[in-house]
């Protein structure tokens, strides 16, 4: 029997698994990747009796692979907050999926564990740019303002590390980063005892965000804005957290951050307005490689020839939602 943990390589996936494995320690095979690498169950070759946990990846995008591992006789626990579509009914499948805009996988796991490792849930929620939800979970923990800021920073840095086209773009392979944070029941303990890892993430984030801040918008009005980042490693790393920063700075505006790819096409991160967190997934599903959730979504491959059409559709879509 194998124990296999399948998880998104961003803050939410990492913090969800850290909570579960602190509550139920297991030596497991880790299956993860960059944040946009979501077809993770395709990598799992399951046998009867295997125990598979899937965290923070869309069931809709992994449906065929999920059916395959269930047919092989594996037991699957699936926790997620993305659009799922029709959920299979199977006696070996346990599902906790909630696509609400103010929920992430770390918060769902926190509910399952009844707050046992709530600080990690707070980190995951901050990393997913769910600041109000993170503050609500943190409120009964008695943290000081400085401690809460530390958890927010860690969430942002863990999330930042997940963005890139390949593992080589990242400061840490998400599997390695998980191994570094997993021994700690508290994120504050991690930041204190693994200070070198934290410092590397913090420095990288600061440098990359500084570079992104120098770029002008290719379109901006009161309801939407579009930015294009160059085909550079720093740009691929910063695309998602830069989108979150823009959303926080302009909460009534939708944002699209496009990152140039080697072939000239674009990788796209979409953030709905923080004050109206809807439609990002609906908009992105208009495109063949698009998906996500209502507050935040993306397109993995937008043809360069579709750029003008994309900008026009983006403007019209969020103008229609505001009327």
3 state DSSP class of 96: strand
Asked if residue 171 lies in contact with residue 23, where contact means CB atoms within 8 angstroms, the answer is: no
Q: Are residues 234 and 312 in the same domain?
A: yes
Q: Give me 78's structure tokens.
A: 């699936």
Place of tokens 């907050």: 81
Helix-, strand-, coil-residue percentages of the chain, each rounded to 5? 45, 15, 35
Whole-angstrom CA distances from 122 to 31, 132, 152, 288 are 23, 10, 8, 33
| Same domain, yes or no: 30 and 89 | yes
Give me the phi and psi of 245, to 5 degrees please: -60, -45
Q: What is the pLDDT of residue 165?
A: 85
Dig out the tokens for 290 from the structure: 């698009």
Instruction: Say whether both 226 and 77 belong to one domain.
Output: no
Looking at the structure, tell me whether residues 222 and 156 fall in a common domain: no
Question: Residue written as tokens 């700690």?
Answer: 184
Place 283 in a pLDDT band, splitting at 50, 70 and 90.
very high
Q: Who has greater pLDDT, 239 or 140?
A: 140
pLDDT of residue 19: 98
Q: What is the pLDDT of residue 307?
A: 96
* Same domain? 138 vs 10: yes
**β-pair type (3-7, 224-229):** unpaired
Same-domain status, 203 and 294: no
- Give pLDDT, residue 262: 92
Which distant-in-sequence residues (6+ apart) come within 8 Å of 201 by Cβ? Answer: 157, 158, 160, 161, 171, 172
Same domain? 220 vs 90: no
Where is 75: in which H helix or E strand? strand 75-80
pLDDT above 80: residue 88? yes
Query: Model confidence over 289-317: pLDDT tens digits?
Result: 998 888 899 999 999 999 999 999 999 99
List of residues 6+ apart from 313 with CB closer than 8 A: 283, 286
Out of 163, 181, 207, pick the residue that ends a domain. Answer: 207
Domain shared by 268 and 286, yes or no: yes
Q: Answer yes or no: do 174 and 250 share one domain.
A: no
**24-77 confidence digits (pLDDT tens):** 999 999 999 999 898 999 999 999 999 999 999 999 999 999 999 999 999 999
Percent with pLDDT over 70 in the chain: 100
Q: Which domain holds residue 235?
A: 216-322
Both 86 and 167 in one domain: the answer is yes
Give the domain CATH number at 172. Answer: 3.90.1640
Banded pLDDT at 132 (limits 50, 70, 90)? very high
Radius of gyration of the chain measured on its C-alpha atoms: 19
The average confidence (pLDDT) of the chain is: 95
Q: Are 41 and 69 in contact (CB under 8 A)?
A: yes
- Residue percentage of the chain with pLDDT more than 90: 91
Pick the last residue of a domain from 207, 241, 265. Answer: 207
- Position 101 scores a pLDDT of 87
The domain tally of the chain equals 2
Separation in Å, CA 35 to CA 2, 13, 150, 165, 193: 24, 9, 23, 9, 26
Same domain, 250 and 174: no
Are 113 and 188 in a shared domain?
yes
Give the pTM. Answer: 0.85
Q: Are 40 and 62 in contact (CB under 8 A)?
A: yes
Listed residues 182, 207, 232: the one ending a domain? 207
Structure confidence at residue 240 (pLDDT): 82
Please determine, for residue 266, whether its predicted confidence score (pLDDT) is greater than 90.
yes
Task: For residue 255, give the CATH number of its domain.
Answer: 3.10.310.30
């Amino acid at each position: 029997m194998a124990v296999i943990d399948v998880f998104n390589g961003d803050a939410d996936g990492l913090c969800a698994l850290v909570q579960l494995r602190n509550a139920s320690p297991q030596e497991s095979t880790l299956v993860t990747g960059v944040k946009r690498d979501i077809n993770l169950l395709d990598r799992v070759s399951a046998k009867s009796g295997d125990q598979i946990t899937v965290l923070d990846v869309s069931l809709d995008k992994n449906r065929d692979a999920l059916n395959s591992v269930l047919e092989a006789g594996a037991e699957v626990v699936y926790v997620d907050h993305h659009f799922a579509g029709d959920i299979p009914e199977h006696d070996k499948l346990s599902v906790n999926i909630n696509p609400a805009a103010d929920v992430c996988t770390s918060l769902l796991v926190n509910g399952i564990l009844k707050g046992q490792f709530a600080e990690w849930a707070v980190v995951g929620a901050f990393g997913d740019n769910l600041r109000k939800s993170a503050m609500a979970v943190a409120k009964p923990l008695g943290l000081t303002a400085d401690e809460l800021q530390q958890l927010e920073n860690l969430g942002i840095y863990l999330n930042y590390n997940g963005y890139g086209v390949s593992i080589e773009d990242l400061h840490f392979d998400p599997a390695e980063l998980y191994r570094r944070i997993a021994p700690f029941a508290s994120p504050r303990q991690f930041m204190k005892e693994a200070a070198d890892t934290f410092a590397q993430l913090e420095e990288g984030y600061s440098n990359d965000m500084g570079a992104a801040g120098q770029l002008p918008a290719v379109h901006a009005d009161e309801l939407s804005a579009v930015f294009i980042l160059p085909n550079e490693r720093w740009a691929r790393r910063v695309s998602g957290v830069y989108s979150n920063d823009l959303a926080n700075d302009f909460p009534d505006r939708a944002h699209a951050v496009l990152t140039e790819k080697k072939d000239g096409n674009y990788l796209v991160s979409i953030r709905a307005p923080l004050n109206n967190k809807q439609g990002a997934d609906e908009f992105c599903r208009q495109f063949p490689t698009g998906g996500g959730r209502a507050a935040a979504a993306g397109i993995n491959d937008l043809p360069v020839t579709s750029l003008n059409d994309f900008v026009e559709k983006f403007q019209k879509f969020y103008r229609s939602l505001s009327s």
